[in-house]
Structure 1
Amino acid sequence: MTSTTTARRPAEVDNLLDHTEQHGTDWVDDVRDALAFNEQAQHPTVITLRDILLDDRPRTPEQALAAALVVLAAHTRELSALTRRHTDDYREEHGVSRSTRGLLTGMGSIRKLLDDHATSLDDRAGQ
């Protein structure tokens, strides 16, 4: 590395960081768009996470945290949907009786907790 390259490099990094800081929310919006685009895939959150990890543009720690919160919120929503499907399948197979009502109610409570947690993660990403 020559001294000329060394002298130019900090300015280039500063310019990239300035650009990244100015467009920080754009990246979180890009993550949300990628999640929406990958929605029909078998594992949309995992595919979006892969894309984020392969993105080599410089990001600030705050941007990385916001993107991580968005991805975790999406994953939590996937878990909630899985819980709902399992509850519906169980109800369909076993019906609602005195012995199954408590289990189904508990499963519904877990799903609501997951939904609330996902909303909380999304809210933190927006701050």
Structure 2
Amino acid sequence: MTSAPTARRPADLDDLLDHAEQHSTDWVDDVRGALAFNEQAQHPTVITLRDTLLDDAPRTPEQALAAAHILLAAHTRELSALTRRHTDDYREEHGVSRSTRGLLTGMGSIRKLLDDHATTLDDQASQ
């Protein structure tokens, strides 16, 4: 009695999946390392995104998702820093008074929301 043939993936695909699984955390670490390397650039997240998109190494969808979370978290932190600078500049120019206190408080709340969102994105990259 013969059994029905089983569907097999090509050996190349198996090798590719094995290679990707072995290096998944390495690639996530590489993205974080690239962000740190590009930190002094004018737009470090954009430059790292460019480098990541140009990287032609085979990656799994999970690895791409982790890299996206890392890059989005970094960009969100850049927006938070921009918000902080704008708030500080506004406070320096206009001072704190009854009319500016609410605006400054709201801008601080937005910054905190951005920081929290960046932390959530980093946590999702680690999962």
Same fold judged by TM-score > 0.5? yes
Q: Report how far residue 67 of structure 1 moved.
A: 0.3
Distance in 1 of aligned mates of 2:68 and 2:92: 36
Q: Which moved more, 1:17-26 or 1:89-98?
A: 17-26
**Which amino acid is the alignment partner of residue 74 of structure 1?**
A
Counterpart in the other structure of 2:5: none
Q: Does 1:42 align with 2:42?
A: yes
Q: Give the C-alpha shift of residue 97 in structure 1.
A: 0.5
The aligned length equals 118
1-side partners of 2:102 and 2:113: how far apart?
Answer: 16
1:75-120 superposed Cα distances (whole Å, 9 cap, x missing partner): 0000000000000000000000110000000000000000000000
Structure 2 gap segments, 5+ residues each: 1-9
**Other-structure match for 2:61:** 61
Local SS of the residue matching 1:39: coil
Structure-to-structure mapping, 1:29-108, within 5 angstroms: 29-108=29-108
Q: Name the aligned partner's letter for residue 113 of structure 1.
A: L
Structure with greater helix share of residues = 1
CA distance in 2 between counterparts of 1:20 and 1:99 reads 56
Q: Which amino acid aligns with 2:66?
A: A
**Letter of the 1:51 counterpart:** D
Post-superposition CA distance 1:14-52 (Å, at most 9, x none): 222211111101111100000000000000000000000
Identity %: 88
Distance 1:89 1:19 in 2: 50
Q: Which residue of 2 aligns with 1:113?
A: 113
Quick check: 1:27 aligned with 2:27? yes
Counterpart Cα distance in 2 of 1:13 and 1:27: 19
Alpha carbon RMSD of aligned pairs, Å?
A: 0.8
The separation in 2 between residues aligned to 1:11 and 1:112, in whole angstroms, is: 49
Matched letter for residue 54 of structure 2? L
Supply the distance in 1 between the matched residues of 2:79 and 2:62 (Cα, whole angstroms): 26
